[in-house]
Amino acid sequence: MRMNKKGFTLIELLAVIVVLAIILVIAVPRVLSVIATARKESLGKTAQMAARYMQQDYAIQSLTGTAPTAQSTAQACPDAAGVKDGTCTYTSALNSGTGELDYTVKVVGTGKFAGYIAQSVNGNAATYPES
């Protein structure tokens, strides 16, 4: 009588588990790094967008004659700047060369963005000062 053996041997199962463990050890840190980079860049785009908003708002105020004319201390960004993932502050300084206000917007991440800081000057690409 012939027996049909079905299933896997213990060695085969252990080999599969070892291969899966090796893949996890390699993949998990890479995935976590990609997530961290995405959060940082997202906060940077938020800072850049807020700085551009501030410049557009200044241009509109200039047309109505209500634009600020001197340097301001750090102030909270208005809700209209669209910052949802952090606290936003800005400072503005009158640029004597152009007569325009230069805006520096700083966003400090909160929630899942905690620990990240992004800064944009005049809507330019964000920089990431150390926290």
Evaluate if residue 67 carries a pLDDT over 80.
Answer: no
Mean pLDDT of the chain, nearest integer? 88
Contact 50, 107 (CB under 8 A): yes
In a domain, 127, yes or no: no
User: Six-digit token pair at 39?
Assistant: 């959060």
Exposed, middle or buried, 54 (CB in 10 Å: 0-12/13-18/19+)? buried
- The count of structural domains within the chain is 1
Q: Is the pLDDT of residue 7 over 90?
A: no
- Report, as an integer, the average pLDDT of 103-120: 93
Is 36 within a domain?
A: yes
- Cα(33)–Cα(126) distance, integer angstroms: 19
Confidence of residue 25 (pLDDT cuts 50, 70, 90): very high
Quick one: which of 75, 120, 114 has its CA closest to 102? 120
Q: Is residue 56 classed exposed, middle or buried when 0-12, 13-18 and 19+ CB atoms within 10 A define those classes? A: exposed
Q: What is the pLDDT of residue 60?
A: 83
Enter the pTM of the model: 0.74
Give pLDDT tens digits for 34-44: 999 999 999 99
- Assess if residue 42 is contained within a domain: yes
With respect to residue 104, please indicate whether it lies within any of the assigned structural domains. yes
The boundaries of the domain holding residue 113 are: 10-121
**Nearest-5° Cα angle at 87, 59 to 64:** 15
pLDDT tier at 106, thresholds 50, 70, 90: very high
